[in-house]
Amino acid sequence: MNEKTYKDTKRSHDKSIAEIKGLDDRLNSLAPFELAKLEYLYTKVERHAWTIAGYFRNQAKYYEGMAEVAQGSAYKSLRQDGKSAQDAQYEARVAKGNMLTKASDYDGEYIAWKGWAASYEGARNAIKDMIKGISAEGGS
């Protein structure tokens, strides 16, 4: 996924969250149709959260790969400049570490969005149970 798709998905996610908040403010007085709509919205934001999590996972993996490239390139360059193998290896690790730091930022976002997706799933299931409860009580 590219950055534009990520931004579009995030915008859609935020719009759906605003709709959820509007319904959630009236949770105790929602009609069954509105509960079903709320369930649908949670399904929608869960899908968005997984898509966003995938974007961040992709970015983390990219920077992890670039860390390996940076280490190899730095090592090769340092050896050509006359550094000993041990010195070049040490200094090349610094280049790798810098890229891994960037990867860790994306990995943290990935984990956070996975958590959001799981919480949306839980909310969706709770609403599903509410709808079943209304049916069991003979409501409509």
Amino acid identity, position 34 = E
Instruction: Report the percentage of the chain scoring pLDDT > 90.
Output: 91
Residue 22 has a pLDDT of 97
What pLDDT score was predicted for residue 98? 92
Query: Is a pLDDT exceeding 70 seen at residue 139?
Result: no
CA 12 from chain center: how many Å? 14
Share of the chain above pLDDT 70, in %: 99
Which among 62, 57, 66 is positioned nearest to 113, based on CA atoms?
A: 57
Token pair 């934001």 in the structure block, residue: 45
DSSP 27: G
2: three-class secondary structure by DSSP: coil
Q: What digits encode the pLDDT tens for the residues 22-63?
A: 999 999 999 999 999 999 999 999 999 999 999 999 999 999
pTM of the model: 0.86
In whole angstroms, how far apart are CA 39 and each of 21, 112, 135? 13, 22, 15
Q: How confident is the model at residue 140 (pLDDT cuts 50, 70, 90)?
A: low
